[in-house]
Amino acid sequence: MSILRIVGWSALALAAAAIAFLVATVRVIEPQPTAPPAAAVPPAQRTSGGLIVPVEGIDVRSLRSNWGEARGGGTRSHQALDIMAPAGAPVVAAQDGVVEKLYFSKGGGGITLYQRAASGDLMLYYAHLRAYAANMVEGKRVRAGELLGYVGDSGNAGAGNYHLHFAVARMGRGERWWQGTPVDPYPLLAGARPGR
């Protein structure tokens, strides 16, 4: 009788160890979104500020500035434009340029992409992506409207809070991707129209 009890406890311990191993080593990978058919997504819109709205299917008239809004319990101000969009919506280059940095920040922007504008004087920042486009690499030259990735909720966006955090920085000579002076992207996308 005692041998059966020992064997039973051994089997239970072995099962618990196997479950612990699986929990520690197995990672669930969500399927990567594919670009929707071209007919399903309206083309990107070029704006009066010279930029393309960086999320396909989003009308420039639906944008609202949230520059300067309190974040982090009032510890910082928002220095970007949040563009709400469905999960997996295509994120496109707002201007011609070069992908300067692909970066992951768990507690910040999550899956992010920094693009230097072809003029060299702007850095465009795309954050909370679900995934990059399949061929995305640092140093890649991109054209306005070219697919960069997909809208997501990575980083500190909050689960299910799908949006593109789009920021712009003015770059001085020799400044790197993490430097520059933040500027409100809203006027560059929507122009100085009333109803902000």
Strand 70-71 relative to strand 76-77: parallel, antiparallel, unpaired?
A: antiparallel
Question: Pseudo-torsion of CA 38, 115, 63, 84, nearest 10°?
Answer: 70
pLDDT per residue as tens digits for the range 161-172: 899 999 999 999
* Both structure tokens of 170: 């003015």
pLDDT of the residue at 68: 74
Residues 142-157, mean pLDDT to the nearest whole number: 94
pLDDT band at 71 (very low <50, low <70, confident <90, very high): confident
pLDDT per residue as tens digits for the range 96-120: 999 999 999 887 889 999 999 999 9
The answer to whether 66 touches 78, Cβ cutoff 8 Å, is yes
pLDDT per residue as tens digits for the range 50-60: 799 999 999 88
pLDDT of the residue at 79: 83
The greatest distance separating any two alpha carbons of the chain, rounded to the nearest whole angstrom, comes to 84
Any idea where the domains of the chain sit in the sequence? 41-190
| Average pLDDT of the chain, as a whole number | 79
> Cα–Cα distance between 127 and 177 in angstroms, integer?
14
142 versus 68: which is more confidently predicted?
A: 142
pLDDT of the residue at 16: 64
CA distances from 174 to 163, 171, 178, 185, 187 (A): 31, 8, 12, 22, 26
> Cα–Cα distance between 6 and 29 in angstroms, integer?
38
What is the gyration radius of the CA atoms in the chain, in angstroms? Answer: 22
pLDDT at 70 over 90: no
Classify domain 41-190 at the CATH topology level: Glucose Permease (Domain IIA) (2.70.70)
> Cα–Cα distance between 78 and 178 in angstroms, integer?
16
pLDDT at 129 over 90: yes
- Global pTM value: 0.72
pLDDT at 67 over 70: yes
pLDDT of the residue at 91: 97
